Chain A
Amino acid sequence: MREVTLAELQAKLADPRAAVINVLVPDSFRSAHIPGSVNLPFDDIKSKVRERFPKLDQEIITYCGGRT
């Protein structure tokens, strides 16, 4: 799996073609998230991602709380 660094993430956030997805639960998303990212909780990804991003070649970058 490809990993992106902080600098790359900033570039992706500015790129309208790339989608940055926060996979945390809505509560965590509300308390803090990276600006420009959308919330698709892990449990709902399967049912909702198709609707949000119909194209299979859509660039998607996922993130969660971070390294612990």
Chain B
Amino acid sequence: MNVERGFSWAAGVLVMLSITAFCIADDNLGLAAFAMPVGLAAWVLSCRQARPLRLPRRAVNLVLVGIVLLAVVRAQQDLSVSVIATIAVYILLLKIGDRRGPRDDAQIVALAVFLLIASMLTSSRMSVGLLLAASGPALVLSTILVQIRAGIRAASAGAPSRTTGAPERHSIAIAPRLGITTAGAVVTIIVAAVAVFLIVPRGVGENYFGGLARREGGSVTGFSNEVRLGTRGVISTSPTVVLELAVRQASSQADTEGEPMGSANEVFYLRGAVLEDYEKGRWTARSEAIRGLPVEPNGIVSLDYERLVRGNLIRQEVFVRDTPPSGMPAYLFTLWEPMAIQIREQLKDRQLLMRGSGEALTARMNGGPFSYVVWSRMNEWSDEEPQPTEIAKFEERAAIGAEAARVLAAAGIEPVPTQRDPAENARAARAIQSWLRTNFAYTLEEAGTPEGADPIEHFLFESKRGHCEYFAAAMVAMCRSIGIQSRMVTGYVAADFNEASGTYVVRESNAHAWAEVEISRGRWRTFDATPPDDLTRLHRASPGLSGRLRHALDAIEHLWNRSVVSFDERDRASIFARGSRSRAGDAAAEFLARRLQRGGRELLLSAVLAGVGTFVAVAGVGLGAAWLIRRWWHTGEQPPGDPRRLAFYGEMLAELTRRGIGKPTWLPPRAHADTIAAVDAAASVAAEEVSRLYYRARFGGEAITADEIQAARRLLQTIRKRR
């Protein structure tokens, strides 16, 4: 491979990977659909030896002016990394069409590097990380080749003409062992990168420079802290992973090794927003009941200390892939009501916001991935005296009340609140849930509600079909109409359990709404009126090949998130603590101490002998390996006169002998090549060329490249063909 072709490949791969990485990081499919084919086509055309693509200067300047104007307009609307990088993609494409020299190539490589950095600033997902890793060798190789091409160009610029015998740029062989050197450089750089990654302490200087290099974050769709019923649309079925959840039982807050919870058949409800107020088809949270709780990075905030210290906790480790843009409040999803929470990252205002009576937690994030640990107690386990709940506002609907009363009557439960035993509340709620599950159909399609009609009434009495928000809203409305306090909760259903990682993978499509009902004074319980079959069908991964494949990818991504994206000071400290004094090391030291105490001198002698033996064995293996490496090295070195590399010359002589024009021993090779010209001119030329190469290597002490050996073998073919 020559320098030009090597650069074409390396830089082409780098350009395509950088564009792909940014488009994936930015979720910009439109840009990907435009930039990738255009970039690939432009690159291929610009690399042609004959008539390479060179856009006219005027056209380039015109397009550049257009891009600058676009940049100005976009920057006025929103000056972000995403916007700047998108402009950079356009400039990169233009630059590919305007490659006129090494400087342009260097600029193309620099733009590709900028896109890779922009990708990092935009997203931390594994696909971006993999693309960055894949770009590494291409980046190293193309950077080296940019230098070499620039050097060749600078040297040939002084050469007055081709008559000097200077080789054409396209025929200059790539430097020796460049592939090995590149691989070595990449490995060294990766090792250095890992070392820096592990050594640099985390948490120091966070937010010191404000929003610098902060990811702006994406919008988490699928979940909403407000429900609007009756509007047309389709519920999101996006498989984009929102968060990962690991659940364990914990005897106390300090217990991190408790029994893991979760299985493919177990479903957890991750509470997000608690919506209590309903008006004209709109469910909202009660904004007046917000209290702030100060929180430090990695600090634990006790929300209910008395219940926390009683133990019997559920420890939930939540890793959120992405949070809303910087400064916007994000919900912290929890199973049941949280007792305590530990947040690893630094929050925007260094405080948590607890909303309403439903203990929903929000915080202002800095954007990007986010992880936290929550300790909860299951509602059913509550054994303490609950606090009374304030009654929420609800517009009474006679028709709904009548329908609820009918359902309760059918179940043999007293519908009148004042006459009903409060202990019957749970049964009443179950009856309503069961009635909704069996008499209504689930659909993701939102057909809308006629003008002036109440969406819940329309669902209950007209359409009898809807999605989870309708079921939850109907459940809450019916419960309230018969005097049972209830509220709507939006969040996610954790139903997709990944055996490999031991975590639940929660996607945008797992967004869900359900009801919480006060089954006794201050004691709330989850009721999901959505038909369970539909719930399972929608929220669980397919058991087929695609489902398994998705599980495998999720497990890998989970590993990436745990080991790279959410790597923090605690992980760092634990690695170095483990490195300095491992548990296995401790155990071995203890064992040795005990044995020495018991065995005394004999044991000491045998230990010394064993040590010496081990040393000899290790040294022997090491020396053997060194010898093998040295031998391999010398084999790989291939000195210029190495007969193995010059075998082509012997083959040529043998071939000439076979053809009856063998070389007499007294005649020098090139002289013989001259003499056979009369017999076969082409063979003479080939023999002359092969002999010249042989002279160079054998007597000139010059190393011959693999390309030259290949060329010699092709010449041999020429001699053979003429037999």
* Chain A bound to chain B: no
Spell out A's residues near B (CB within 8 Å).
none
Spell out B's residues near A (CB within 8 Å).
none
